[in-house]
Chain A
Amino acid sequence: MSVYFLCLILFCIGLYCVLRKRNIIKIIIGLGIMEYAVNLFFILIGYRYPARAPILAKDQVIANIVDPLPQALVLTAIVIGLAVTALLVAIAIRIYEKYGTFDITKIRKLHG
């Protein structure tokens, strides 16, 4: 129970960074921290206490196995998070080349 709460505090730190910072790179860092917190929360839900990893071995009958379904979902989520971060950094570099600054309060012209 307290582990879930600590994980949500990590999520809120990322949320504060996205809401209050002015530099685009800091916002991207905040999004990355939120992603880590959400992936950790999924795996915390699927943990079983006296259990083993979901890999079967030869000539062994394993009694308890950790839930493998959230692990399959989070595996794709991690790689998708990397692709989204790369796209955000490409857009940020483009914005810097056009406006000369990373400050979001100075990027006002949405046309052209």
Chain B
Amino acid sequence: MMQRKIRVLIAKPGLDSHDRGAKVVARALRDAGMEVIYTGLRQTPEQIVETALQEDVDVIGLSILSGAHKALFPKIMELLMQKGLTDVMVFAGGIIPKEDIPELKKLGIKEIFGPGTPTEEIIQFVLDNIPKRS
């Protein structure tokens, strides 16, 4: 009898090409026993949402360092809703100013992790916030 595995999509929306942080988080979640789909750089919101749908992920982690989060995150959350992916937990990380966080959380992004966040904290957060499947 197989255990249900947690599937996480780590995605980089926008045009920045710094993926070391995203890969560190991806590997940490893998080492915590999760199946992590990493899709590389320069993803559009459409690509991210379609991937989340096909891969039937439980969690999406968005990594962005270009400052375009205010433009891209609302689009991503809107597409997720349109496609019926309302039971996916979304968190974000990268270079996101503190003052933008409340607005992003209102969009439905569960938590934002700044640079230097210990990976243990992110792992624990994901484990504590896995959405229940309907």
The judgment on whether A and B are partners is no
Q: Which residues of B contact A (CB under 8 A)?
A: none
Which residues from chain A sit less than 8 Å from chain B, CB to CB? none
